A and B are shown apart, each in its own frame.
Chain A
Amino acid sequence: MEKHILSILVENHSSVLSRITGLFSRRCFNISSLSVGETQDPKHSRITIETYGDEFIIGQIQKQLDNLVDVIKIIELKPCNSVYRETNLIKVRADSTARAEIIDTVKIFRGSIIDVSQESLVIEILGEKDKNNAFIELMKPYGILELVRTGITGLERGIKTLKDYKDY
């Protein structure tokens, strides 16, 4: 099943996130990542959800979400005209023998080291999910102690905004 990324503009108040995630679990839809935060207008939040399904399932997800009173607008961010980013923080075991190698790899991936200790590094990697996954694979042999991912966020390219889309 294909991956789809949905961008949802919602009212910014309590219970909204639980309505959205509740709808996914009740209707047996999948969420593989979710990120949420306030927009430039504090009345609204924007949620980015990565999900899997065929065109009918994605259609159902969009239409069912659209029926929620707190959902203002929902679009699919298609790969051909969108940019996506995800931040990962990775705590890697890094003693003096491995450290130089790891730092080289971080440079190649244009990440940064944001914490150093005798035996470990915390690395920040920003990018598309595939790139981040590739980096994580490279870190595995050193020993990943902890990993957190923000979930994907995304926007369409160009001047057009979500609000320019018509309601159903």
Chain B
Amino acid sequence: MKLNGSEILLECLLEQGVDTIFGYPGGAVLNIYDALYKYSDKIKHYLTSHEQGASHAADGYSRATGKVGVCLATSGPGATNLVTGIATAYADSVPLIAITGNVGVASLGKDSFQEVDIQGITMSITKHNFIVRDVNMLAETIRKAFYIAQSNKPGPVLIDITKDVTSDTCEYEYKKPKKILPRTKTIKQNDLLNAIKLICKSKKPIIFAGGGIISSKATEELIKFAELIDSPVTLSTMGLGGFPASNIRYTGMLGMHGSKASNLSVMECDLFIALGTRFSDRVSGNTSQFAKNSKILHIDIDPAEINKNIFIDQSVIGDLKEILKRLNSMLTKQDHKDWNNQVNQLKLKYPLTYKKDEQLKPQYIMEKINEITKGQAIITTDVGQHQMWACQYIKHEKPRHLITSGGMGTMGFGLGASIGASIGNPDKIIMNITGDGCFRMNCIEIATAVEYNIPVIILIMNNHALGMVRQWQSIFYDSRYSYTTLNKTTDFVKLAQAYNAEAFHITEKSQVEEILRKAISLKKPVVINFEIDCDEKVFPMIPANSNLDHFITENSKDLLT
């Protein structure tokens, strides 16, 4: 049948099973919005307050559901407002489709009104991107984009569509989406055998899993693998929830704000098994000393990750779930009782601690969230201290239940992401943990949550400061608090009320449990402003590029405040 480009776009989204998109209209996408009007019974479009919010919402939707997230924006500033969201998705390998309108073909390259070269701008933050200048190419381009976004290591793909393409017509025929198969061709038997050899030789193995565990849905296989090789398990921020925190083998997060038990065990181990992770500097610290007593076995879907940041001894390339399945079938049960005892001693000796007094502490709030939601809620976060407390003190039990900007560290990510996560999981409790700095960046999206009655609970850890930067200034810059004090007089409760959200102001420890239960029972957007101390810090902490046994803790002498 003959359709115009806008209708073809929507038909192709339907082909891919898309029923939800996030966006913001504008001149170059008028035709697409006209088609959306017609397709409103098949595709639900959520109008955000800002294109950045749409990109984070699509990202959060994708992370929470495992489906592709789709966002839509107009040309020029609409497109550039997506950029931070696309970069965030790219850093965390999230399958995202960003659709932008552009000016008509004849106006391209003429510095026309609202024209930017968004293909050029996003080249280094997308897995791939396209500009469509001919309606006959549109359907195939969209199909290709969806395939690229989901296959191998997932990532964002941008499709820039010129305005004339959205009104030009051509024949459209339904096509079934190409099946996304796990990457298995790259799995070499020899690599598996070498991996088995390393594992069988090891007396002190440790498993470190990252976001790949979640994107390849390999939790079950990982649990079995850890059992078989009798190994402790640590996770990166992106891996949290990929292995249940309640499992006895779990040692806590690894890296800069990881647990002492995890970091010390990595210094001690004789085989470091990295699964679906890319050795971020936030994990590796000083790369020359990283796991220096140990062999490193790296299993990842992306061959380019091998020997990129850390030199390793053996790799296996391919889909993690499939590789673990094969390894599990080849392995015999190992026994490392002494080593596990040693690690357990570290866990007992160095639990996460904070000063428990009458003050309202963020760690206490996290513990209460954990107690009440029992790992069943989806937690989204912004970036900074509150993010690390949420990683440390909430027990992440299930994949896709912690949604956080791990790679890009995007302040302002959380609220949009929580809206997307909630739309993808209407029956779940969604909590967005944020700080006052991050909240202020994109709080405009409360309007979106209220408009669609999306029951996100926004928990502001309000220390009237950019807490994490302040922490670094306190420790490494002699407490010269350069522009990190946010003594703004903004009343977040009134602000939330102005958006017609429920809002509460909490200053006492004793109020926390009650207010959390109340917020959950309201089933509507709620903002809770928790007043916390600006000198509360995230511990333990390993300074950037240091060895993993170089801890700063609340008791450290080199701590100035």
List chain A positions with a Cβ less than 8 A from chain B. 15, 18-19, 22-23, 26, 56, 59-60, 63-64, 66-70, 167-168
Q: Are A67 and B304 in contact (CB under 8 A)?
A: yes
Q: Which residues of B contact A59 (CB under 8 A)?
A: 307
Contact status B304-A66, CB under 8 Å:
yes
In B271-307, which residues have CB < 8 Å from any A CB? 302-304, 306-307
A22 and B303 contact, CB distance less than 8 A: no
User: In the assembly, what is the distance between CA of A94 and CA of B73, in Å?
Assistant: 61
Residue in A15, A19, A23, A66 whose beta carbon sits within 8 Å of that of B303 in the complex: A66
> Can you list the 10 inter-chain pairs with the closest CB atoms, starting with the nearest?
A63-B304, A69-B128, A63-B303, A64-B304, A26-B124, A22-B123, A56-B307, A67-B304, A168-B303, A22-B124
Residues of chain A within 8 A of B317, CB atoms compared:
168
A63–B185 Cα gap in the complex (Å)?
Answer: 16
Task: Supply 16 A–B pairs (Cβ within 8 Å), ascending by A.
Answer: A15-B119, A15-B123, A15-B131, A18-B120, A18-B123, A19-B123, A23-B124, A60-B308, A64-B304, A66-B303, A66-B304, A68-B128, A69-B148, A70-B128, A167-B185, A168-B303
Nearest residue (CB) in B for A68 is B128
B452 at the interface (CB under 8 A from A): no
A-B pairs under 8 A by CB, number? 34
Report B's interface with A, CB cutoff 8 A: 119-120, 123-124, 127-128, 131, 148, 185-186, 302-304, 306-308, 311, 317
Q: Smallest CB-CB separation from A19: which chain B residue? A: B123
Query: In the complex, A15 Cα to B132 Cα: how many Å?
Result: 13
Q: Within the assembled complex, what's the spacing in Å between the Cα atoms of A19 and B131?
A: 14
Chain A residue nearest to B152 in the complex (CB): A67
Report the bound CA distance from A22 to B308 in whole Å.
18
**Chain A residues near B186 (CB-CB < 8 A):** 168
Contact A56 B311 (CB under 8 A): yes
Residues of the A chain whose Cβ atoms lie less than 8 Å from the Cβ of B304:
60, 63-64, 66-67
Give complex CA distance A63, B120 in Å.
22
**Once bound together, how far apart are the Cα atoms of A64 and B124, in whole Å?**
12
A119 CA to B516 CA, complexed, in Å: 88
Min CB distance B157 to A, Å, is 9
Cβ contacts under 8 Å, A68 to chain B: 128
B120 x A60 contact (CB < 8 A): no
Inter-chain CA distance A68–B311, complex, in Å, is 23
- Shortest distance from the beta carbon of B278 to any chain A beta carbon, whole Å: 13
Q: Inside 8 A of B131's CB, which chain A residues have their CB?
A: 15
Residue pair B127, A69 in contact (C-beta under 8 Å)? yes
Residues of B within 8 A of A70 (CB): 128
A84 CA / B124 CA spacing, docked (Å): 31
CB distance from A23 to the nearest CB of B (A): 8
Q: State in angstroms the CA–CA spacing of A56 and B148 once bound together.
A: 27
Chain B residues, Cβ within 8 Å of A63: 303-304, 306
